[in-house]
Amino acid sequence: MYDVAIIGCGVIGAATAYELSRYNLRVVILEKENDVAMGTSRANSAIVHAGYDAQAGTLMARLNVEGNAMAGPLCEELDVPFKRIGSIVAAFDDFDEGVVQKLYERGMANGVPDLRIISAEETKALEPNIADNVRCSLYAPTAGVICPWEYTLAFAEVAVKNGAELKRKCEVTAIEKTEEGFCLSTNQGEICAKYVVNAAGVYSDKIHDMVLPHAFDLIPVSGQYDLLDKSEGSRCNTVVFQCPGLEGKGVLVSPTVHGNLIVGPSAEEVDRDDTATTAEVLTMVRNRAKRAVPSVDLRQCIRNFAGVRANSAVDDFLISRTENFVDLAGIKSPGLTAAPAIAKHAVELLKEAGIDLEEKENWDGKRVRIKFNEMNEEQRRALIEENPAYGRIICRCNTVTEGEILDCLHTPIPPVSVDGVKRRTGTGMGRCQGGFCGPRIVDILAREWGVSPVEIPQDRDEAYILTHETKMGN
Ligand SMILES: Cc1cc2nc3c(=O)[nH]c(=O)nc-3n(C[C@H](O)[C@H](O)[C@H](O)COP(=O)(O)OP(=O)(O)OC[C@H]3O[C@@H](n4cnc5c(N)ncnc54)[C@H](O)[C@@H]3O)c2cc1C
């Protein structure tokens, strides 16, 4: 019998496991996919929002501002890429100016630090490529950009290192209330726990309904993006938002923490697992982006992707506790930002439910990984001398070495696919999108795992790259 079962290992489940791993508890995380961060947490704008969007007085407003403040020290401790580059919401007409004023007032009520409205001249000084007709903007220096999947992975790795169990490919299909807690039916058998945390993202309504009467509906809303090459990475200095208006939330143009430029998202109601992109929607996204940053060179697009928001009719997160069951449901944007604060809040809710929180003496929250491309010549030489695998560059776009790929195979949550390696080391994220390094990674994985290359999936199980061997010997 576990103390806590967490359903879902996106950023919310992972951050909750990380917080709970500080205590002497038996914690299990159940994730239906073959890796962590396979849902919304890997496909979003990757902005650490300042906190002026949410209505004052909501849980979302409080947890956004708290989560933003936590991101700096946490990313330092967890070795997660994060840059506090600030954001602007640019106004281009009378309507926009009214919106900027409202957002400013909301931000002040939410306690967003250093928020101010800046003139057209100041905006242009900050963002020389902004459209000439900019009137003013809301400047939030505390906003930042982060690597969302590494944030998720880092939380989960630290949790596992400190004793939490992660069961991948483990789908919860039913939950039964028992005298001592709950019994969860999964494709890996029955798993019992005294407390259950529902962090199932766009499926959190389904999990809720397995335990409690139906209380809310989720509305999955897709957001499609263009990701541009690093040659466009300095087109903007901050996250450039447009005003949310009658057409929906504005399209942003922003540097990513990896040095690319991201343009998007759109907003269309879809099925929960629909992460398709379409030419029609992307054309709309591109046209809107050009309204704010006309010179953006969209021919430099290296990838399109889409993520699905767990929206609901309520303008807040759907966080609540019923006895020993905690819902962390409907975690729409700014859920990535709020994740560490949501996790602390979840622990408080479990405490209210009577969980015994005895701190571990030897909890270790530190995570470090070797990043060859951030080292100077001297450090590189020393590393290669120690282990020649760091001298073999596998990903030429991002200068990722074989040594780093081998390292990630020995982390607390090793990858099981080529994209799993990508999320852990940055391979395949450059201009060639894995065209050059992909086959070499397949070879390394096949060699290290002692399997045939045809058994290596690209991402999800059975998404094989190679169908069969062509040279079967004589
Ligand atoms: C287009 C878009 C842009 C966004 N931009 C931002 C942003 O810039 N900043 C920000 O702060 N937030 C942003 N967000 C919101 C943020 O991405 C989400 O709030 C956050 O990722 C939600 O995390 P989660 O863990 O709740 O969900 P998920 O990451 O989806 O994780 C849920 C997990 O549960 C698993 N699961 C589901 N059902 C089961 C089951 N039955 N058994 C076992 N496992 C199960 C899934 O496989 C999944 O891995 C954006 C979202 C979108 C879609």
pLDDT tens digits, 123-172: 999 999 999 999 999 999 999 999 999 999 999 999 999 999 999 999 99
**Residue 449 covered by a domain:** yes
Which of 368, 384, 405 is at the close of a domain? 368
- Cα of 129 to ligand 1 centre, how many Å? 32
CB of 337 sitting under 6 A from ligand 1: yes
Query: How many folded domains does the chain comprise?
Result: 3
394 and 438 fall within a common domain: yes
Within-domain flag for 316: yes
Q: Which domain holds residue 236?
A: 87-141+219-311
Q: Do residue 170 and residue 276 come from a single domain?
A: no
Per cent of the chain over pLDDT 70 is: 99
Question: Is the peptide bond preceding residue 415 cis, with omega within 30 degrees of 0?
Answer: no
Residue 249's pLDDT is 64
450 in the same domain as 376: yes
Domain with residue 272: its CATH number is 3.30.9.10
Residue 38 lies in a domain: yes
For residues 193 and 3, is the Cβ–Cβ distance under 8 A?
yes
pLDDT at residue 282 is higher than 80: yes
Is the C-beta atom of 340 inside 6 A of ligand 1? no
Instruction: Give yes or no for residue 474 having a pLDDT over 60.
Output: no
209 and 331 in one domain? yes
DSSP 359-414: BPTT---------GGGS-HHHHHHHHHH-GGGGSEEETTTTEEHHHHHHHTTSSS-
**Nearest atom of ligand 1 to the alpha carbon of 11:** 25
Reduced to 3 states (helix: H, G, I; strand: E, B; else coil), residue 452 is coil
**Which atom of ligand 1 is least distant from the CA of 14?**
25
CA of 42 to the centre of ligand 1 (A): 8
* Domain containing residue 399: CATH number: 1.10.10
Q: Residue 267 has which token pair?
A: 């907003």
Averaged pLDDT for residues 111-122: 98
Cα(207) to centroid(ligand 1), Å:
14
| pLDDT mean over 277-302 | 97
- pLDDT at residue number 379: 97
Amino acid identity of residue 425, one-letter, is T
Q: How far is the CA of 13 from the centre of ligand 1 (A)?
A: 9
Q: Are residues 276 and 206 in the same domain?
A: no
367-384 tens-digit pLDDT? 999 999 999 999 999 999
Q: Is residue 470 part of a domain?
A: no
CATH at residue 159? 3.50.50.60
94-114 tens-digit pLDDT: 999 999 999 999 999 999 999
For the whole prediction, is pTM greater than 0.95? yes
How many angstroms does the Cα of residue 382 sit away from the middle of ligand 1? 40
Q: Is 49 a catalytic residue?
A: yes
Least confident of 18-22, 79-83, 428-432: 428-432
Residue 469 in any domain: the answer is no
Q: What is the pLDDT of residue 435?
A: 93
| Cβ neighbours around 127 below 10 Å, total | 21
Residue range 451-474: mean pLDDT, rounded: 86
pLDDT of 473 strictly over 70: no
44 in ligand 1 pocket by Cβ < 6 Å?
A: yes
Residues 45 and 152 in one domain: yes
Domain final position from 290, 311, 332: 311
On whether both 338 and 229 belong to a single domain, the answer is no
Q: Which residue, among 292, 9, 347, has the nearest Cα to 154 in the 3D structure? A: 9
Name the percent of the chain lying above pLDDT 90.
96
Regarding whether 243 and 206 lie in a shared domain, the answer is no
Tell me whether residue 468 is in a domain.
no
Max Cα distance, the chain (Å)? 76
* Residue to mutate (ligand 1; options 34, 44, 64, 197; most atoms within 8 A of CB): 44
Nearest protein CA to atom 35 of ligand 1, as residue: 8
Q: How many angstroms separate the alpha carbon of residue 40 from the centre of ligand 1? A: 3
- One domain for residues 57 and 196: yes
| Average pLDDT, integer, range 274-282 | 97
Report the C-alpha gap between 120 and 413 in whole angstroms. Answer: 48
> How many angstroms separate the alpha carbon of residue 10 from the centre of ligand 1?
6
Domain assignment present for 463: no
Residue 355 · residue 336 · CB < 8 Å: no
Q: Give the pair of three-digit tokens for residue 325.
A: 């069951």
The distance in angstroms from the start CA to the end CA of the chain is 55
Same domain flag for 76 and 160: yes
Q: What is the pLDDT of residues 253-266, one digit of tens each?
A: 999 999 999 999 99
In a domain, 460, yes or no: no
Same domain, 298 and 404: no
Q: Which atom of ligand 1 is nearest to the CA of 225?
A: 1
Residue 53 CB–ligand 1 contact under 6 Å: no
Is the CB of 21 inside a 6 Å radius of any atom of ligand 1? no
In angstroms, the Cα distances linking 58 to 266, 336, 350 are 25, 17, 20
323-342: burial string, b at 16+ Cβ within 10 Å, e else: ebbbbbbbbbbbbbbbbbbb
Check whether 335 has a pLDDT greater than 80: yes
The C-alpha angle with vertex 35 and arms to 30 and 36, in degrees rounded to 5, equals: 70
What's the pLDDT at 26?
98
Residues 203 and 306 in one domain: no
pLDDT band at 246 (very low <50, low <70, confident <90, very high): low
Confirm or reject: Cβ of 405 under 6 Å from ligand 1: no
Ligand 1 lined by 41 (C-beta under 6 Å): yes
38 ligand 1 Cβ < 6 A: yes
Q: Please, which pLDDT band fits residue 415 given cuts at 50, 70 and 90?
A: very high
Residue 472 has what pLDDT? Answer: 64
Last residue of a domain, one of 351, 368, 385: 368
Q: CA separation (Å) from 170 to 155, 439, 448?
A: 19, 29, 25
| 3-state secondary structure at position 257 | coil
Query: Does residue 137 line the site of ligand 1, with CB under 6 A?
Result: no
CB 446 within 8 A of CB 455: yes
Atom nearest to 309 CA in ligand 1:
53
pLDDT of 138: 98
Q: Per mean pLDDT, which range of 111-120, 246-255, 306-315 is the poorest?
A: 246-255
